[in-house]
Amino acid sequence: MQVRFEFLILGGGLAGLAVAAALAPHRRLCLVEREAWLCRHASGRAAAMFIPTYGGPVVSRLARASRGLLAPDLLEPRAALHLASEETDLAAVQQWGRGRRIDAAEIAKLAPGLRAGATALGFLETDAGLIDLAGLVDRLRRAVLRHGPIVTGFEAETIERRQGCWRLRSAERTLAGAVLVNAAGPWADETARLAGVQPLGLQSYRRTLIEAAPPPAVEVRTWPILKQANGQGYLRPAGDAVWASACEETPSPPCDAQSDPLSVALACESLNDLTGRTEWTPTAHWAGLRSFAADRDPVAGWATDAADYFWIAGLGGSGVQCAPALGQAAAAMLGGAPWPEALVAEDLTAALLSPQRLRRVPIGDQ
């Protein structure tokens, strides 16, 4: 059986969900995911923090543009405290961040129980927060389903374009659409090769997170997000516990990422270093993949070597805070709508996101 749509959006992570939710009220589309449920991989394993300075200038602007698109009940205001022992480590966050410098005394008030003796410098990013990831996914999913189908468990065996139409064929059925949107996350380049389209040269990196119970008599519920200004670790409150990472980047092929003993140990060491305490009790650990283009900025735009083929990829672990605005941008490009005002306000243009800025790699390269 073959079903034809105007748009096929391949990938049920936050990027695919966001563009589908923005486009569905205006165009006939189908969101296609090979797993049994949405956001099973990178999107569903994120720390769900909203930190506009986390990433380069383009990511920062996308995050700020996304803030107004997030319903208030999906974003809990929670300042991010960037800690440093060297003045130079705070330079970048002070350039892009909205907030203020604070001293060791105020750091101690914000995070009672933190032993930051060697960390006397801090920048408090006041427009940060914690995102309700499950709520965001459900909100986007419902927005799509109000207008079109979501197909899960669809493993595309072939992807081809014939007679002006893209066809995705599995063992059971065929889906067809005039335009194919590649939002396949870490598998985006593999998906492109299957379709005979030149890949972007994306690279995926594994990152591990741990959940840990705090030391006795330390109340972390009111702590801000804590982040090493040099990018070597962070923690975020998660109820009575914290989630923490050493921010490692281990090159990985696209896969169902798993944490290993070494990466868990690194996360524990990072947590100890960040807080000046060693009494944390790890209770869980997991890993996810973060995929980047060569310049580490997200990609959204039309392919130059294939007709009616659109990329949305390389969110680099920032999909939770960037996907809402990136979805609006992609929907505007796909549907020919005016450029979203939220992106205009942040001086974001289609050219900054376009795959044309990247050097392509041959289809046969791995």
pLDDT digits (tens, 9 = 90+) for 65-101: 999 999 999 999 999 999 998 888 898 888 888 999 9
Whole-number pLDDT of residue 362: 46
Q: Identify the pLDDT of residue 316.
A: 95
pLDDT tens, 264-311? 999 999 999 999 999 999 999 999 999 999 999 999 999 999 999 999
Domains of the chain, with CATH numbers?
2-44+133-200+296-357 (3.50.50.60), 80-127+203-292 (3.30.9.10)
Report H helices in 221-317. Answer: 261-275
- Report the pLDDT value the prediction gives residue 115, as an integer from 0 to 100: 83
The structure tokens listed for 149 are 């189908």
Position 359 scores a pLDDT of 63
Longest CA pairwise span in the chain (Å) = 69
Query: What DSSP string runs through 51-71?
Result: -TTSS-HHHHHHHHHHHTTS-
Residues in the chain predicted with pLDDT less than 70, given as ranges, are: 1-2, 116-119, 359-366
Count of residues making up the chain: 366
Residue 1: count of CB within 10 angstroms of its CB: 6
pLDDT for res 364:
43
Judge whether 267 and 228 are in contact, CB under 8 Å. Answer: no
pLDDT at 117: 62
Ramachandran bin of 11, using left for φ above 0, alpha for ψ from -120 to 50, beta for the remaining angles? left
d(CA 80, CA 92): 14
